[in-house]
Structure 1
Amino acid sequence: MKDGHLSNAKSGMKKSARNNSVRRKDVVAVLREEIIRGVYKPGSVFPTRAELQQRFHTTPVTIQHAMDILRRDGFVYSSARRATYVSPSPPHLFRYAMVFTTPPASVEQPGARFFQTLIAVASAFDGSQREPRKIVVQFSIEFEKESHETRAFLSSARAHCYAGLIFPQHPYVTGIADSPLCGIPGVPCAAIMDKPSDRIGAVMLDGDSFINKALDFFAGRKRKRLAVISNISDPSFQSPIMAGARHRGLTIKPYWWQAV
């Protein structure tokens, strides 16, 4: 009998813990959704714990755990006067993730200068008062070999801890385009690729702008003669560049153009 009572007590404790966990998740989900919908504006005073306890008909412990999760995720913060406020720069509006499927070592190679530059630029978006937007760089987010880190990141994205996801690597080459990350309501995705898809926006190189800026750079430094190394030798590609150079007083001889 004693063993039976003990077993029933343990079962009841486990069931109670599960119920509390589910209840806590429900409270977090409702409050987070209300912040996202603007019921509580960025920087506004958040309801007190006593008010939330009364509203949700739950315990102080459950409310405290829910507030801890919202604070951890950046949706609210507490002041020295013990009041709680909605973050002035909540994550669903100000935090972005730059997502790599490969480990950090992959962008440390000499041939990865483009990715290194992107990461350096992203570091300027640091979530400070001067720059409230923040870009978090995530590595090794791969769904074929789903790791704890990948599952945690997906959970954060589904919880709207990011305003958007940026894919520097082609998402249809890495396979991340077909992952659960793409298509989360309210969390848009963008990638460096030629054409957008129904789930991912595209950022493309503006070749004309690049050429004009390059020619302006050399003209501004009083250069007169230019050589070109290109992987394209088609005359339709060369002619606008030659014309732009002449317009700026620059000279490009045909034999100074090397196609590789």
Structure 2
Amino acid sequence: MPSRKVEAIARLLKEQILAGRYAPGSRLPTYDALMEQFGVTRPTVVRVLDTLREEGLLTVKGQRKVFVTQRFPHHDRYVWVTSEQPGSNEWSLFLAITHEVIERGETGITGQVSALVGVDGRANNPEYRQLCDFEGRGSAAGLLLVNSAMIYLLPVLQKPGLPRVAIGAPLPHANLVALDFAGLIDRASARLLEKGRRIAVMSPHASKLAAAQECLEGYGQHPDRVFTVHAAPIGCERLTELMFDRRSRPDAIFVMDDNLVPPLLAGLERAKVKAGEDVYVLAHCNWPRPLGMAEGVEHIGFDVREVLCAGKDLIDAHRAGAPCPSRLVPARFLGELTRPLSTATDATVEEKTVHP
């Protein structure tokens, strides 16, 4: 643990670096000059410089030549934080795709974007300790927090600190990036009515089924021509097959959860029905990783890159002292994306996401 003297000197040099006294890329004073300036020994100077190097403020070139880094993580590091773990029941495709986009450097954000996964608030949790370190040192531009009960209760987030953005739902001391689910359902309903007279809606969530039915009926669709199917990934294949083993089979399907797309396609195959030819299929997705595109499925959904960039913009506005109104990210069809699709395949994400 650094001594108080090391912490004090490191804090002073850090303030000077961030304030611009030492320009990015410039050389720091020599060891001897720092020893004389602060009246300390060489080992103390070494520990001070090690502390600043760990924060990403310094780099070493050659023998004892210490330079200020060109970019400071305090200004351009954005940290995405979730309490969920890959493979858990709560590890959704939205989380899996966001995490993969960050890991592959496809966010579209200028600067560093890193991910803390499985943050649970325990003192022995490495990710939580790292989050506390970011907060304590101020060594990030801001935090992109995926709302959950665990994130809401994390001790380190109970007081204002680094600029924060909550994704999905409000959190204390954080600006908000929300997803326009109402707009998604409205636009999807309009598209479905262009494509079919008998519409099936599939979702594991009763509230979303009710919202879709209400919207379709609001557009004038007769209730007898809307079939709501409460389906989970397990059993969806058989339910899909049964839907087409009847006279009043649907001619358009709205899949409101992308976890249902693979079993739905398997069910269509068993029923000898082709998406895009025999039945119109519109599925919710998380861009840029739509499932089933090659099999004839059309998609509407939220671009996780757009969500991250909206959060980054709010963090930057907060740091600049500008107004930070909540952002509502719209649902988009393929032709409306502001960034091109990635070359990653459906299987890349499906292999990482076991649970709905």
Query: Structure 1 length normalisation: TM-score?
Result: 0.66
Instruction: Report how many aligned residue pairs link the two structures.
Output: 222
| Contact kept? 2:145, 2:166, Cα under 8 Å | yes
Distance 1:162 1:184, change over 3 A: farther
For residues 216 and 77 of structure 1, what CA distance do their matches in structure 2 show? 56
What fraction of aligned residue pairs are identical, expressed as a percent?
A: 21
| Contact kept? 2:85, 2:91, Cα under 8 Å | no
| Contact kept? 2:78, 2:112, Cα under 8 Å | yes
Match of 2:142 in 1: 164
Match of 1:26 in 2: 8
Match of 1:75 in 2: 57
For residues 159 and 66 of structure 2, what CA distance do their matches in structure 1 show? 32
| Contact kept? 1:126, 1:132, Cα under 8 Å | no
Q: State which of 76, 91, 96 in structure 2 corresponds to 1:116.
A: 96
What are the equivalent positions in structure 2 for 1:205-216 lying under 5 Å apart?
Answer: 205-207=179-181, 210=184
Distance 1:224 1:37, change over 3 A: same
Q: Deviations over 1:116-155 (max 9, x none)?
A: 011012224489xx97622222234323x32152335413
Match of 2:81 in 1: 99
What are the equivalent positions in structure 2 for 1:145-164 lying under 5 Å apart?
Answer: 145-147=122-124, 149=126, 150-164=128-142
Structure label with greater radius of gyration: 1
Q: Decide which structure has greater strand share.
A: 2
- Unaligned ranges ≥5, structure 2: 231-356
Deviation at 1:256, TM superposition (A): 4.6
For residues 16 and 191 of structure 2, what CA distance do their matches in structure 1 show? 50
Letter in 1 for 2:132: L
Q: Deviations over 1:154-186 (max 9, x none)?
A: 13431122221222132xx1154452235354x
Query: Structure 2 length normalisation: TM-score?
Result: 0.51
1:180 match: secondary structure = helix
Q: Which has the higher contact order (CA 8 A, sep 6+)?
A: 2
Distance 1:111 1:64, change over 3 A: closer
| Contact kept? 2:78, 2:114, Cα under 8 Å | yes
Distance 1:239 1:66, change over 3 A: farther
Match of 1:61 in 2: 43
For residues 87 and 55 of structure 2, what CA distance do their matches in structure 1 show? 28
For residues 239 and 45 of structure 1, what CA distance do their matches in structure 2 show? 69
Match of 2:167 in 1: 192
Distance 1:94 1:116, change over 3 A: same
Q: Deviations over 1:231-253 (max 9, x none)?
A: 2445763378x59xxxxxxx999
Q: State which of 225, 236, 253 in structure 2 corresponds to 1:255.
A: 225
Match of 1:51 in 2: 33
For residues 114 and 175 of structure 1, what CA distance do their matches in structure 2 show? 17
For residues 258 and 131 of structure 1, what CA distance do their matches in structure 2 show? 39
Distance 1:227 1:181, change over 3 A: same
- Unaligned ranges ≥5, structure 1: 1-17, 244-250
2:166 match: secondary structure = strand
Distance 1:216 1:118, change over 3 A: farther
For residues 83 and 194 of structure 1, what CA distance do their matches in structure 2 show? 47
Q: Decide which structure has greater helix share.
A: 1
